[in-house]
Amino acid sequence: MTHNARFLKDIRAVLLDFDGTLWRGRAPTPGAADFLDLLQQHDIAYRVATNSAVKPASVYSQALQSAGLPVDEDHMITVSVATAAYLRTRLPEGARVYVVGQEGLHQALTEAGFVILPDASQPVDAVVVGGDLTLTYEKLKHATLLIHQGALFIGTNPDVVYPIAEGLAPECGANLAFLTATTGVQPEVVGKPQPHLFQMSLQRLGVPPAQAVMIGDRLETDIHGAQQAGLRAILVSTGVDNADSVVRKGIAPDLVVTDLGELTRLWQAVK
């Protein structure tokens, strides 16, 4: 399933999702290397804008480079960094937070000047929740107690699952659902489909939304979020959603492709 690809000739910048779009499990998706070559050949700027908060940008960059994809750290924008920037608009430097998450989120919040507390023994200003491969009952218990005490409830992203080699695994949205059930409080979510990550990416790229396209594998986050932010949107079928999902969910991208290899061929045809 595709739509008219002529709009590609007017695109000056690309936002790429990470999990399910550029990378799946432990390897690049089909055609990823050729697509990045295409962008370089035609001097099209890009950023990898990911809802993943588990690792720092440097770790994602190293994984991509080890697999032969020339994506340096400056090309990565993680939701952890966007979350820290958003929290700075809500709380002063030095505010105390409790984190359900891993290295990527801890690093971003620390670099933004927040003080991370290890448990619920003292009040905090915010509970910040991301994806967490080391999730325990104790972490969820501390978060529940602190939200009940009045801490801001911040979620990095709403994704309930993310694609891995074996299939779909739990992500941040599942953690948020647990905490909403235990506290009755809805989180303030920063990542896609909210505008923060799109706006940060476009600012770094230096282009207006109308000249940029988002490429992702999720209709509710990548595609709907991009369209709300004024970008074109392309769905790749290497992650969560596909052409059948478009009909079922009623979210229509500008283009639907099997993978980045097919997108490369379509883009070359209109250049």
Catalytic residues: 17, 19
DSSP string, 38-86: HHHHTT-EEEEEE---SS-HHHHHHHHHHTT----GGGEEEHHHHHHHH
What is the DSSP annotation of 91-135?
Answer: S-TT-EEEEES-HHHHHHHHHTTPEEESSSSS--SEEEE---TT-
Q: Rounded CA gap, 54 and 60, in Å?
A: 10
249: Cβ–Cβ under 8 A, 6 or more apart, which residues? Answer: 219, 220, 241
Residue bearing tokens 């588990």 = 54
Closest CA to 217 of 181, 266, 168, 179: 168
Q: What helix, strand, coil percent values describe the chain, rounded to 5?
A: 40, 20, 40
Omega before 193 cis (within 30°)? yes
Q: Provide the pairing of β-strand 212-216 with 232-236.
A: parallel
Contact 28, 64 (CB under 8 A): yes
Q: CA angle, 209 as apex, 203 and 214 as ends, to 5°?
A: 95
